[in-house]
Amino acid sequence: MTAIATLTMSPAVDLFASTEQFYYDSKTRCEILHRVPGGGGINVARNLRRLGLDVLAVFPAGGHHGDLLEQLLADDGLPFTRVGIENETTQNIALREASSGKSVHLVFPGAVLQAGEWRACLDAIDAINPAPRMLVISGSLPAPIPATFFADVIHACHQRSIRVVLDTSGAALRHALEAGVYFVKLNREDFTALGYAGPDTPHDRLIAMKKMVDDGWAEHLVLTLGPHGALLASRSGELMHITPPPVTVVSHAGAGDSFVSVMTCKLYQGTSVAEAFAYGVAAAAAAISTPGNQLEDFDWLAQVYAGVIRRI
């Protein structure tokens, strides 16, 4: 039985590499460290499985990188449903400069899907039986899929009493929120795109977030603020600002997905929304202070969680 399913419409193979020094006018010779499955929902699914939950990842994939992604997931032991597509799946690149400790994360557009292919992804979610308790929609929506696609998925989930967790951006975000979700994670760019033009203070942002919650967009709405932590507005009344302890930044890859993974896991397990939110903030900080795009050191996560500061 699947407890939580994830939907990733822009999956990828993530290539991690290193170089001693970047050169901008000649060759930069790199060492390949590893290739791992990538894409928002896939990252979340892998974390959730590592956290002990039964999870199924649904995604479209095609070409050489699609086959490689499938093999990597099979090697990882993650249950998945691959929807075959004609075009080549994306490969993203995370490159670290050893001499400075700086990293660049090159993220490319998702593969273009034909109408029959993206409709098959919706059918794959409908085919999960029995229905999962939660569906995590994470990652961007590639062109030319209609911006209403995620909203269509959410409406179908409502009919089966599936709670939806959302982490996306662009035109699809507003349509999805207007359909109403259980938990959504926004960043500052998303928040501005949704119409916020007020002061950059936690108090003013929380007032605007509470209105979004009261309007039915989400039961729990999170706004991440990078090193300044995150804000939470919940239909159950919580208004919170939590900041993580200082950590050494190693890689930003997968930080947002780690936040979603751990907060989703805690909510699924019945933890209070305040504690689930605090764990999400800690998970993002733990993720950026370790290499790769996954949470693997749960002792470190517990240490970071112990250091979070609840400001509101």
- Check whether 202 has a pLDDT greater than 90: yes
Provide Rg for the chain, Cα atoms: 19
User: Alpha-carbon distance 159 to 190, whole Å?
Assistant: 27
Torsion angles phi and psi, residue 309, rounded to 5: -115, 125
Q: Where does 111-231 have alpha helices with state H? A: 115-126, 149-159, 171-179, 188-193, 202-214
The tens digit of pLDDT for each residue in 100-150 reads: 888 888 999 999 999 999 999 999 999 999 999 999 999 999 989 999 999
The tens digit of pLDDT for each residue in 281-306 reads: 888 888 776 665 566 667 777 777 77
The tens digit of pLDDT for each residue in 237-288 reads: 999 999 887 766 666 666 788 899 999 999 999 999 999 999 888 888 887 7
User: Alpha-carbon distance 104 to 110, whole Å?
Assistant: 19
Say what angle helices 298-306 and 273-288 make with each other, to 10 degrees.
120
The tens digit of pLDDT for each residue in 9-64 reads: 999 999 989 999 998 888 999 999 889 999 999 999 999 998 999 999 999 999 99
The DSSP 8-state label assigned to residue 228 in this structure reads G
When comparing pLDDT for 246 and 154, which is higher?
154
In contact, 92 and 68? CB cutoff 8 Å: no
Provide the CA 44 distance to its chain's centre, in angstroms. 6
In the numeric block, which tokens belong to residue 222?
């999170």
User: Alpha-carbon distance 44 to 293, whole Å?
Assistant: 10
Residue 32 bridge partners (DSSP): 17
Catalytic site residue from 14, 257, 297, 299: 257
Domains 1-170 and 180-312 share a fold: yes
**pTM of the full predicted structure?**
0.91
Band the pLDDT of 222: cuts 50, 70, 90: very high
CB neighbourhood size of 161 (10 A): 8
In the chain, the amino acid numbered 103 is S
Domain 180-312 has CATH 3.40.1190.20: yes
Domain ranges of the chain: 1-170, 180-312
- 257 an active-site residue? yes
Q: Characterize the bridge pairing of strands 309-310 and 4-7.
A: unpaired
Domain 1-170 has CATH 3.40.1190.20: yes
